[in-house]
């Protein structure tokens, strides 16, 4: 992948567990890092299937591999782009391992 394709700025949020004043566990999302990313939206058939399920927008975000991005898991991160929040459903190394990470995510628009 050409580094020039990383033309979007995406904020990665991570899930943080804390306790409230009564000691009750509280989970909150916090901005962790803002990175450059290449964004590709699902294929036509994926978009149709997502639309049938509910208002959803599937996308794949490709970012540079780093210690931070290699530590992400689908349960502990989400992405914010253009006011939409994308729930990460899958993370895979790119074709050039240790250079790129691909995060597959879905934004719920309803």
| Amino acid 104: pLDDT | 93
Separation between Cα atoms, residue 87 and residue 75, nearest integer Å? 9
Q: Identify the weakest region by mean pLDDT among 14-18, 31-35, 66-70, 92-96.
A: 92-96
Q: Is the pLDDT of residue 110 over 90?
A: no
Separation between Cα atoms, residue 104 and residue 95, nearest integer Å? 15
- For residues 74-94, give the mean pLDDT: 92
pLDDT band at 1 (very low <50, low <70, confident <90, very high): low
- Please, what are the domains in the chain? 3-15+25-105 (2.40.10.270)
Q: Per the confidence metrics, is the pTM higher than 0.95?
A: no
Q: Identify the weakest region by mean pLDDT among 15-19, 52-56, 65-69, 74-78.
A: 52-56
Residue 19, burial from CB neighbour count under 10 angstroms (0-12, 13-18, 19+): exposed
Task: Label residues 77-93 b or e (16+ Cβ within 10 Å = b).
Answer: bbbbbeeeebebeebee
| Amino acid 90: pLDDT | 93
| Amino acid 49: pLDDT | 59
Separation between Cα atoms, residue 53 and residue 46, nearest integer Å? 11
């Amino acid at each position: 992948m050409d580094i020039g394709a990383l033309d979007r700025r995406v904020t990665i949020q991570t899930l943080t567990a804390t306790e409230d004043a009564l000691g009750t566990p509280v989970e909150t999302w916090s901005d962790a890092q803002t990175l450059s990313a290449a964004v590709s939206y699902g294929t036509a058939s994926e978009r149709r299937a997502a639309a049938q399920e509910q208002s959803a927008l599937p996308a794949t975000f490709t970012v540079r591999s780093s210690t931070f991005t290699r530590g992400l898991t689908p349960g502990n991160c989400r992405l914010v782009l253009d006011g939409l929040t994308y729930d990460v459903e899958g993370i895979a190394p790119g074709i050039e391992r240790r250079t790129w990470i691909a995060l597959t995510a879905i934004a719920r628009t309803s």
